[in-house]
Structure 1
Amino acid sequence: MDLNKTIEETKAYIGMWVTADGQIRHQLLPTNRYDEARGSRESAYQGSFKVSGNHIDYKDDTGFVADGEFKDGILYHGGMILYKQKN
C-alpha cells in the first residue's frame, strides 16, 4: 500500500471500528452508511458519512452531525479512540 495515499483514496476506512473496551462499534459500509452500536444496544445510531482525505463527517438519521480523523490506522471521534477490527 502506498503510505502517501489518504484513507479516502485507499478505502481502508470500510469495516468495523471498535473502542478498546468494545463498548462503541462503528460499522462503516461501502455505501457511505454507518451503523453504530453502544454496549448491548445494537444499531443505537445509523446515518451517512463522507470521507475527505483523512477526515470523516457523520450525519445520523435524526440530523445530528459529528466528525473525526483517521491517523496512523486509528479513528479519533468525539473524544473516543477506535481501532479497525481485523477480519
Structure 2
Amino acid sequence: MQKQFSIAEAKNRLPTIVHSVEKGPSVELTRRGKPVAVLLSIQEYERLSRKYTGFWNAVSEFRRMAEDEEIEISDRDFTGLRDLSSGREVEFK
C-alpha cells in the first residue's frame, strides 16, 4: 500500500519523506483524511509526463528498463496464460 501523510505531518517530516520518495514509491498527501495530492520522484514524474511515443518506442523502453533492473522474462512466465483448447464445437447446417 502507498504511504499516506496528512499535509501537517508532511510539513514536519518533509526531508524524510522526500528521501523516501526518491528511493521508492510515491506518497499520498491527505487533508482531513481524504487524498488531495501525491509526492513522487522526478524520474516517475518525467516518465508520466512523457508524450506518447508509439508502440515500438514503448517496447524498447520496457526492454531497457527490464535490462537495467535485471528482470528476466522466460517462456515459463507465460505458461497457463492462454487457453490452448480448440474452442467450442459448432455445427454448420
TM-score (norm 1): 0.20
- Greater fraction of residues in helix: 2
Larger radius of gyration: 2
- Greater fraction of residues in strand: 1
